[in-house]
Amino acid sequence: MQNISSSFQMPVKRPIAQLLTLLVLSCFGGSSWAQATTAEQAQSGNPVAAEFPDQYFPQNLPDPAIAVLFPQTWTTYAANPERNAVFALSGNAPESLRRGVSWKFAGAGAIPLDGPPLDNNFSTTAYNIGMPVGASVVNGIVYEGSDNGYTYALNALNGKLIWAHYGWNMTMSNPLVVDGRVFVSTGNAYFNYANTMLYVKGKRPTRGPGLNTMYALDAKTGKKLWAYHFPGEAMPTAVYDQGFLYIGTGDGHVYKLDAVTGKLALTTDLVSFVSMSSPVLAGDNLFLGGTNPNYFYAVNKKTGSIAWKITLPKLVATGIGDCTPAYADGLVIQEATVETGDKEKPVANVLLAMDASSGKIVWQKQLESGPVPPAMKTATPMIAGDKVLEGSPVTGNYYAFDLKTGRELWKVRLGAQIRAGAAVADGVAYVPYKSGDIAAIRVADGTLLGQKHLGGAFGPSSPVIVGGTLYVSNIYGWVIAIPLSDIAH
């Protein structure tokens, strides 16, 4: 088992920035390309660019013989439509990978895992330094976006920094990796004054001031290949299919971009703005949730037409537009949040199973009610065989339901808000939740097999399992690799 800790320090104002850049380069073993890049930025006459240098350390790239043991592409949130990012290793993989590696990486501005959040506020922490959405692991590299604007590429064996790219806005997306390119999107959850007034007046607003962008980066070096700028935030993870990227944004559209050139191919006007609902693709349709008005949509990927849409009564704001859906066996699974009318317990999560072809609700389950959770009000569902696994940020309970009928199979009380999906390996679900813990739950019967306290707090960060290692990020600004055996004893 390896125990390695590394960190990244965000440069500050010149001339200190230039000194810190050289210090960071020496700490991580800077290459001539990295030195030239940061030096050019520092001397270009653009003081802003000098404060946020991209970095590249090729000596930290994984050995090619190791890289081929990992997943080779990442085309959707949590790697697949079921949202279960679990990958076995081949028999010739090193024993260290089968046992699991251990390391921690602190991004720019990260705070101690055993300390309080910034200003004693978890939302403030997440929106400034957090890595809330989760990593992608491809070719021996962990790719992670951060709300401080950086996308990081880390060696999956030891956590060492390979490159960092600054995106000029929050990077809440799960990076996609295809054909040597990394695709990341940026945005933020805010309205400027004019759009706030539109929202208050019941008119159509655009969410996400600032530079809202889809970037294509070189997977090995982090160099920008192209960038496409949206009018509204692009916080969700896109989905890649047959040479195109699809994403819903804060200006109420679904965009289709050419993945090689970044050129716009098609747009669909939903009217609803998309908060954090990363689309799932099944057949010719994309499925995602939107807000204001609150609807869940099926959009044809070829024509851009809306195939169907549904809504529920008493949906809370972003109560269906925050959730990333899952798909299996003709069913789309989505969580929403509704008002209950109870002053003491005003909201409840609702889990929906919809027929992918028609939008007909096959079954729905309203979970226990409770207080209004801050920030995101839904969790990410995932599908493991014939079961749907889902958490509640309202009550802190974790559930298993029958995929076809919606029958509740078991419930586990974890006691803190759950927004992440799970990763299921060898019949065990690994679930991160807000208290900074990961629970190991036997899928067959809901038995709690173990819990591991890592510190910090987890948002909607679905974990990734490769061999014996679980990779997860948190809102304190950390990426953590931990052996599965340390969680489920």
- Burial (CB count <10 Å: 0-12, 13-18, 19+), residue 9: middle
Whether the pLDDT of residue 199 is over 90: the answer is: no
- pLDDT tens digits for 206-233? 999 999 999 999 999 999 999 999 999 9
pLDDT digits over 300-341, tens only? 999 999 999 999 999 998 889 999 999 999 999 999 999 999
Q: Is residue 409 part of a domain?
A: yes
Is the pLDDT assigned to residue 18 strictly greater than 60?
no
Tell me how many domains the chain contains: 1
Residue 117, preceding peptide bond in cis (omega within 30° of 0) = no
Residue 30, domain member (yes or no): no
248 in a structural domain? yes
At 301, which amino acid appears?
Answer: K
Strands 464-466 and 86-87: parallel
Question: At 282, which CATH number?
Answer: 2.130.10.10
Is 311 a domain residue? Answer: yes
Structure tokens at 397: 């309970």
Residues 341-363: tens digit of each pLDDT: 999 999 999 999 999 999 999 99
For CA atoms 85, 86, 89, 90, the dihedral sign is negative
- Is pTM beyond 0.95? Reply is no
Residue 3 domain-assigned (yes or no): no
Residue 144 in any domain: the answer is: yes
CA dist., res. 154 & res. 62, Å (int): 9
Domain that holds residue 169: 61-486
3-state SS, residue 40: helix
Is residue 46 a part of any domain in this protein? no
Assign residue 111 a region (left: φ > 0; alpha: ψ between -120 and 50; beta: otherwise).
Answer: beta
pLDDT at residue number 91: 85
Domain-located, residue 391: yes
Strand partners, 151: 145, 165
